[in-house]
Amino acid sequence: MGFDAKPKYVTFDMNGTLIKFSINDTMREVLGDRLPAEVADDYLRICKAYRIDECTGAYQPFHQVVARSMERTSRKLGLEYREEDARAVYETIPTWGPYPGVTEALNRLAEEVPLVIITNSDTAHAERLAENLKAPFEVVISAEEMGIYKPRLGAFDYMLDKLGVTPDELVHVSASPMYDHRSAASSPSSSASRAPDA
């Protein structure tokens, strides 16, 4: 996509794009020796699939997404599920920090164009994680605020409405093909473009 003028906003996915999304490491740490080495990789892969699945139905708070995905995975693999494990994983999320170089790059970019976050985090976590980035964001939009998760198309429609822009007036940045790229490109209100090999 080309721009004849500077975009009005640069919008970002946060977790996994700006913030190092460490949920797999956190689950390994929380579960400890109750996650056998021979099934650990399968557990993490299946749990990710269930997290995505939990985000595509009716909205539920992210702590429930974490809990339900861990519960379903444990049941599938015949492992013990404990609510306190899911709570511990969820409560670790706001401690995560940015990838190297992200804070500096965001601050340079913010001198030229307003920055926005659209995230699948709950509002409280979104605010804490945005603070961890140590960069100025004009707006932080959480899944809790939207009442919907990416990759649901309504998330991007909500963002455009809130910002009062059309798709060609912003640039969206994300490292997530599953949660952002496909949805942003598929949205009826989107004019997103993809790299030739995407």
Span 101-110, pLDDT tens digits: 999 999 999 9
Residue 131 has a pLDDT of: 98
Q: What average pLDDT score do residues 26-51 get?
A: 97
Which of 17-21, 153-157, 175-179 is the least confident region? 175-179
Residue 153 has a pLDDT of: 85
pLDDT > 60? residue 79: yes
Distance CA 105, CA 93 (A): 23
Give 116's DSSP letter: E
Per-residue model confidence as pLDDT tens digits over 117-149 = 999 999 999 999 999 999 999 999 999 999 999
Domain segments of the chain as ranges: 9-19+97-186, 23-95
Distance CA 120, CA 134 (A): 19
**Mean of the per-residue pLDDT values for the chain?**
89
Q: For residue 188, is it left (φ>0), alpha (ψ between -120 and 50) or beta?
A: alpha
Question: Using alpha carbons only, what angle is made at residue 162 by residues 157 and 166, rounded to the nearest 5 degrees?
Answer: 60
pLDDT > 50? residue 50: yes
The residue behind tokens 């500096």 is 104
Residue 190 has a pLDDT of: 47
pLDDT > 50? residue 111: yes
The residue behind tokens 């965001």 is 106
Task: Answer yes or no: are the C-beta atoms of 16 and 176 closer than 8 Å.
Answer: yes
Give the DSSP per-residue string, 135-193: S--SEEEEHHHHTS-TTSHHHHHHHHHHHT--GGGEEEE-S-IIIIIHHHHHSTT----
Residue 191 has a pLDDT of: 42
CATH topology of domain 9-19+97-186: Rossmann fold (3.40.50)
Task: Answer yes or no: are the C-beta atoms of 98 and 20 closer than 8 Å.
Answer: yes
* Distance separating the N- and C-terminal Cα atoms of the chain: 14
pLDDT > 70? residue 188: no
Which of 26-30, 37-41, 124-128, 184-188 is the least confident region? 184-188
Residues whose CB is less than 8 angstroms from the CB of residue 70 and which lie 6 or more positions away in sequence, other chains included: 27, 47, 81, 85, 86, 89
pLDDT > 50? residue 198: no
Give the DSSP per-residue string, 81-96: --HHHHHHHHHHGGG-
Residue 100 has a pLDDT of: 97
Distance CA 185, CA 156 (A): 10
Confidence of residue 192 (pLDDT cuts 50, 70, 90): very low
Same fold, 9-19+97-186 and 23-95: no
Q: What average pLDDT score do residues 80-97 get?
A: 98
Q: 57 by DSSP, 3-state: which? A: coil
Residue 183 has a pLDDT of: 53
Per CATH, domain 23-95 is 1.10.150: yes
Q: What average pLDDT score do residues 94-103 get?
A: 97
Distance CA 144, CA 3 (A): 32
Residue 1 has a pLDDT of: 46
